[in-house]
Structure 1
Amino acid sequence: MNIRRATDADFVNLCTTAMRAFHDDPVMRWLYPDDEVYFQPKGAVFTGAMTNWLAHQQPWCTDDAAALAIWFPPVELGAPAPEQINVGPPPTPEMLARFELIGPAMAAHKPVEPHWYLQLLATHPDWQRQGLGAHLMEVVFERADSEGIPCYLETERPELVAYYRHHGFEVRSEWDVDPDATLGEVGPHMWGMFRLTREP
């Protein structure tokens, strides 16, 4: 299996894969509850994020972009985030309110020690259960282990807690995104998971 760095030529396939993979994800569908918005053609809901990931993170993917991983390398605590590229339609007030709730909640649970951060792992539903996600994690596990740096991720599904445990992660924190009086709803439940380094 060939795992490589994604390029701009993969853009539409990457967006489509991410959209299809997260079509029932609790966080994504809380942020984008309207089917007409979420299921726009060519994975347009991921256009803004993918533009920035390709500019700053250069995602890992399979040759056909049927699976991808967004890994953030270790940074010093308090280091400035990369400048964001604004593309696509502006978010609605409701969407902004949700992002303003979930962003600080996730930041509050991130480890303070340097770590590799797996922001997204996605496999198109037609190619799931073939080990593609494991290969996309392993490319960074090898480097993380050789450097003695742990890995971290968040997930929102109990079955994925079990999946990531199988790959060496353990639950480090667990929380609910606070309810918002303006939106009149409770945010998703989330787990933060940490993988200690292993001997090469």
Structure 2
Amino acid sequence: MSTAALRSTNRLNRSVVTRLCDLLSSSFHEDALARWMIPDERLRAELLPGFFKVFVELSAAYDGVLMTPDGDAVLLFLPPGAEPDEAALDEAFAGLLGEHMDALRSIIRLQAQHHPEEPPHYYVSFGAARPGRQKGGLISGLAGDLLARADANGSGVYTEASSPGGEAAGRRAGFRRLGVEIVLPDGGPALRPMWRDPR
């Protein structure tokens, strides 16, 4: 499969960012984590594109966007050593999410408690494929590109699966469970921390 890594924020023109945000928003609209964070369906559809725009631009700043040439699948990640400005991210998300920011802060806090500090590793935040192309191997192809890069660097890869299907896909790619599930409060869903050693 031919994939293309977008190498810098400058390569992410406005139309590409919009396309990727729409793709991610539609893919995660019914995700348990998104529903817990923004319960109202209409408001969730309104807020998710801006939410994902922050993640797309953050990953792009670290050369961490992989997408198919047609833009029908995307994988966002951060490389080893990435140090995002957490205060700036908090401010950006707060401006977007308003009253739902407390829910996001809860997610971020729990993720940070479970995130491995060592060894240095790639961190995959989101992956999505266009509806109708979801089981066609697009995400697996993008993940294969990232895993090959991680293997060449001798680095592990960490992610958190938000669904049983995501966990199953991770296991097929060589990931294993790492520690206990990250369970969100008030009857919220669980994230499944996963790790892959370099090969």
1:195 aligns with 2:187: no
Q: Is the 8 A contact 2:67 2:75 kept in 1?
A: yes
Contiguous gaps of at least 5 residues in structure 2: 7-11
Aligned equivalent of 2:108: 103
SS in 1 for 2:77: strand
Matches within 5 A, 1:61-100: 61-75=67-81, 80-82=83-85, 83-84=88-89, 86=92, 89-93=95-99, 95-100=100-105
TM-score when normalising by structure 1: 0.83
Q: Rate the CA distance shift 1:148–1:42 in 2: closer, same or farther, 3 A.
A: closer
Aligned equivalent of 1:16: 22
Aligned counterparts of 2:155 and 2:54: Cα–Cα separation in 1: 29
Q: Is the 8 A contact 1:116 1:144 kept in 2?
A: yes
Q: Is the 8 A contact 2:182 2:193 kept in 1?
A: no
Aligned counterparts of 1:16 and 1:88: Cα–Cα separation in 2: 20
SS in 2 for 1:65: coil
Aligned counterparts of 1:111 and 1:88: Cα–Cα separation in 2: 26
1:112 aligns with 2:117: yes
Instruction: After TM superposition, give the deviation of residue 143 of structure 1 in Å.
Output: 1.5
Instruction: After TM superposition, give the deviation of residue 139 of structure 1 in Å.
Output: 1.1
Matches within 5 A, 1:1-200: 1-6=1-6, 7-8=12-13, 9-40=15-46, 43-75=49-81, 80-82=83-85, 83-84=88-89, 86=92, 89-93=95-99, 95-113=100-118, 114-179=120-185, 185-198=186-199
In our comparison, the structure showing a higher alpha carbon Rg is 1
Q: Is the 8 A contact 1:102 1:177 kept in 2?
A: no
Aligned equivalent of 1:182: none
Between the aligned residues of both structures, percent identity stands at 26
AA paired with 2:5? R
SS in 2 for 1:111: coil
AA paired with 1:34? D
Q: Which runs of 4+ in 1 moved over 6 A?
A: none
Q: Is the 8 A contact 1:57 1:70 kept in 2?
A: no
Aligned counterparts of 2:47 and 2:162: Cα–Cα separation in 1: 25
TM-score when normalising by structure 2: 0.84
Q: Is the 8 A contact 1:48 1:88 kept in 2?
A: no
Q: Is the 8 A contact 2:62 2:79 kept in 1?
A: no
Contiguous gaps of at least 5 residues in structure 1: 180-184
Aligned counterparts of 1:138 and 1:151: Cα–Cα separation in 2: 12
Tell which deviates more after alignment, 84-93 or 96-105: 84-93
Instruction: After TM superposition, give the deviation of residue 52 of structure 1 in Å.
Output: 3.1
AA paired with 2:2? N
Q: If each structure's helix is expressed as a fraction of its own residues, which one has the higher value?
A: 2
